[in-house]
Chain A
Amino acid sequence: AQKITQTQPGMFVQEKEAVTLDCTYDTSDPSYGLFWYKQPSSGEMIFLIYQGSYDQQNATEGRYSLNFQKARKSANLVISASQLGDSAMYFCAMRESLTGNQFYFGTGTSLTVIP
């Protein structure tokens, strides 16, 4: 089974609108971390936001927020007030305590912001 599933290969959003990128995960480890990364065409993975499995509140970082629904094993990224520079690939990732140090990544969602 896939550890991380991103079901949206591509998304479009109008500039200044909000957009939600979906991510579901699969783990039996009670302790894990969820991450979102942005990958522009240059290739570098840029860390956006982190949510720990025991965190009570949804994580927020500026225009990014993570809609964490633990029972549904979902960790959707919400980008508010989209900007043209937000156009990129977005990857959801997970690290489990039991498996130690490796990050599991989804297949990514390509976001295009339309002016």
Chain B
Amino acid sequence: DAGVTQSPTHLIKTRGQQVTLRCSPKSGHDTVSWYQQALGQGPQFIFQYYEEEERQRGNFPDRFSGHQFPNYSSELNVNALLLGDSALYLCASSLGGGSRSYNEQFFGPGTRLTVL
């Protein structure tokens, strides 16, 4: 049973560039959430995708956008990169709905983005 996968593992960009990160959810999961984890901090919620739509968004600017595909995989796009965007970007998958399993999120290994 494949867990959550993310690509690439590491990425180095310069200020002003754009980046796309990718996530494949755990088998059977239909909901993908993205988090930003700065060094020494806990993850901060960026947004969540369900049924190919952004269902909820955290306190992040419009430079952060995303997409979910029919196979439930997802992309996170960040435009006009700033030095402060350097972080570990985590993807988490879960099941939509009201069961307890919905409460549980499974995380991928993350993509470490460095902005120079």
**Which residues of A are interface residues toward B (Cβ below 8 A)?**
4, 33, 35, 37, 42-47, 50, 52, 91, 93, 95, 99-108
**Which residues of B are interface residues toward A (Cβ below 8 A)?**
31, 33, 35, 40-45, 48, 50, 55-56, 58, 88, 90, 92, 100, 103-110, 112
A25 to chain B, nearest CB (A): 13
Q: Are A102 and B42 in contact (CB under 8 A)?
A: no
CA distance A101 to B42 in the complex (A): 17
B30 to chain A, nearest CB (A): 12
- The SS class assigned to the B binding surface is strand
Report if A102-B33 is in contact (Cβ < 8 Å); known contacts: A45-B43, A47-B105.
Answer: yes
19 new A-B contacts at CB < 8 Å, known A44-B108, A105-B43: A35-B103, A42-B109, A43-B88, A43-B109, A44-B109, A45-B90, A46-B107, A47-B105, A47-B106, A50-B100, A91-B42, A100-B56, A102-B33, A102-B48, A103-B33, A103-B43, A105-B35, A107-B40, A107-B41
Residue in chain B with minimal CB distance to A9: B40
Partner of B56, one of A46, A102, A105, A108: A102
Residue in chain A with minimal CB distance to B47: A102
CA distance A107 to B42 in the complex (A): 5
Which residues of chain A are within 8 angstroms of B104 by Cβ–Cβ distance? Answer: 35, 47, 50
